[in-house]
Amino acid sequence: MFKKLNPLLHAQLRLKIISLLVKEGQSDFVELKEKTKATSGNLSIQLKKLEEADYVRIEKGYKDNYPHTSVRITSTGLQAFEEYVEALKDYLE
């Protein structure tokens, strides 16, 4: 029997974001936007959903007098990603 896939991570853009953060640990908004090819608005919405689920932490501030948004994965987000990958493996067997 197949395990249920996490619907929050099953969305393409959110999966891209979490995958990048698993690899890098943290990133900033501009880098995530460039790597995912998402629009600013869509990226903001998806980051908010991930933050509400406690999968990421978002810190807003300034860097060189410009607004700067930093995003890092949480232990909850990392665990959810690992569970998602394990669930996918069921589909491949």
pTM metric for this prediction: 0.92
pLDDT over 90, % of the chain: 86
Mean per-residue pLDDT, 47-72: 95
Determine the Cα–Cα distance for residues 45 and 40; give it in Å rounded to an integer: 9
For residue 27, the cross-strand partners are 71
Q: pLDDT averaged over the chain? A: 95
DSSP helix/strand/coil, 88: helix
pLDDT average, residue stretch 35-46: 97
